[in-house]
């Protein structure tokens, strides 16, 4: 039987512990640098005990999630006396299993279980976990356990090798964090013609939702719309000249993104090689 413990009771740990408890897993123990956050997690989980130290969590459970900030995972893992028949799993998106080398040296089994999701706060994290994909690094029998856990959380799973994690996490940054940056750039442009940021966000959100729906329902490359997809040189040239005059600091970003979009337009089949070369010249 799996008795699960959590070391670290921030947003990810609290949401994951709550969901696992809801799905029938036995979450027995938690410790955290903040006693208040540990109690908050325990209050959401049936029969979960708050311990003062990570070692006490390790002493009372056999599947331990380390859900601390990434920079201290390795340090915490190295201070605990692990033993055989224990599974120690971190939830970092950027790090592989090398940060749990001390765990392996003591005979325990390391693993990685990263929810590919954006977590702004605990309730939002709790609500967003179902349907997420979980990036798993592990060997059997832990591998099967983590796959089953992902499925029980109504999610999908993807298996990563040791060298995959950095690319995986970089992709997540592009898809999530840089989307926020793009919205910020767009609202800055609306500010240039006098519209406040919150009003601009409200206006742009239906467009963003429509784009995401097209990605889901139509897929790449056919979901691409706009002037590059059409090969509309005149419109793109107007954009460039306007940015040169009104907001030159983001002109390079516009051109770089345009360059990356040409190949999608080509794959969609709405432009030919000759037009793609003209677009490349325009974006230089």
Rounded to an integer, the average pLDDT of 99-127 is 94
43 and 123 fall within a common domain = yes
Same-domain pairing of 118 and 236: no
Q: What is the CATH classification number for the domain harbouring 56?
A: 3.40.50.720
In this prediction, residue 203 carries a pLDDT of 97
The domain total for the chain is: 2
Q: Quote the mean pLDDT of the chain.
A: 96
> Is the domain of 153 the same as that of 12?
yes
pLDDT, tens only, 157-174: 999 998 899 999 999 999
**What is the dihedral angle through the alpha carbons of 140, 130, 45, 112, rounded to the nearest 10 degrees?**
30
On whether the CB atoms of residues 21 and 45 are closer than 8 A, the answer is: yes
Across residues 82-103, what is the average pLDDT? 95
- 120 band by pLDDT with thresholds 50, 70 and 90: confident
* Residue range 193-250, pLDDT digits in tens: 999 999 999 999 999 999 999 999 999 999 999 999 999 999 999 999 999 999 999 9
- How large is the average pLDDT for residues 53-79? 96
Residues 149 and 120 in one domain: yes
Question: 162, exposed or middle or buried, with CB in 10 Å at 0-12, 13-18, 19+?
Answer: exposed
Q: Write a three-state SS string for 52-116.
A: CCHHHHHHHCCEEEECCCHHHHHHHHHCCCCCCCCEEEECCCCCCHHHHHHHHHCCCEEEEEEEE
One domain for residues 156 and 178: no
Q: What pLDDT, on the 0 to 100 scale, is given for residue 67? A: 97
| Domain boundary, last residue among 138, 160, 182 | 160
Which has the closest alpha carbon to 68: 8, 149, 153? 8
Residue 1 pLDDT > 90? no
Question: Are residues 156 and 77 both part of a single domain?
Answer: yes
Domain enclosing residue 275, as ranges: 167-282
Could you give the residue ranges of the DSSP H alpha helices within 176-232?
A: 178-192, 197-217, 227-230
């Amino acid at each position: 039987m799996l008795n699960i413990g959590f070391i670290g009771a921030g947003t990810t740990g609290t949401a994951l512990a709550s969901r696992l408890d809801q799905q029938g897993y036995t979450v027995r123990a938690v410790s955290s640098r903040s006693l208040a956050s540990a109690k908050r997690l325990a209050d959401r989980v049936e029969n979960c005990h708050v311990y003062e130290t990570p070692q006490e969590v390790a002493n009372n459970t056999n599947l331990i999630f380390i859900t601390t900030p990434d920079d201290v995972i390795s340090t915490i893992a190295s201070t605990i006396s692990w033993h055989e028949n224990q599974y120690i799993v971190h939830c970092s998106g950027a790090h592989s299993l090398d940060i749990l080398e001390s765990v392996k040296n003591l005979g325990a089994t390391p693993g990685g279980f990263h929810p590919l999701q954006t977590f702004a706060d605990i309730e939002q994290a709790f609500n967003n976990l179902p349907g997420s994909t979980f990036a798993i690094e592990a060997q059997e029998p832990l591998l099967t356990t983590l796959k089953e856990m992902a499925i029980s959380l109504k999610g999908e799973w993807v298996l990563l090798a040791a060298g995959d994690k950095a690319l995986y996490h970089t992709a997540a940054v592009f898809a999530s964090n840089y989307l926020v940056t793009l919205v910020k750039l767009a609202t800055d442009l609306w500010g240039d013609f006098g519209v406040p940021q919150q009003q601009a966000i409200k206006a742009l959100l239906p467009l963003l939702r429509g784009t995401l729906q097209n990605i889901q329902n139509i897929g790449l490359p056919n979901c691409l719309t706009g002037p590059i997809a059409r090969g509309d040189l005149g419109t793109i040239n107007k954009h460039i000249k306007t940015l040169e005059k009104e907001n030159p600091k983001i002109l390079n970003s516009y051109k770089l993104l345009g360059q990356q979009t040409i190949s999608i337009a080509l794959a969609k089949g709405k432009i030919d090689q000759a037009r793609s070369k003209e677009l490349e010249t325009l974006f230089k």
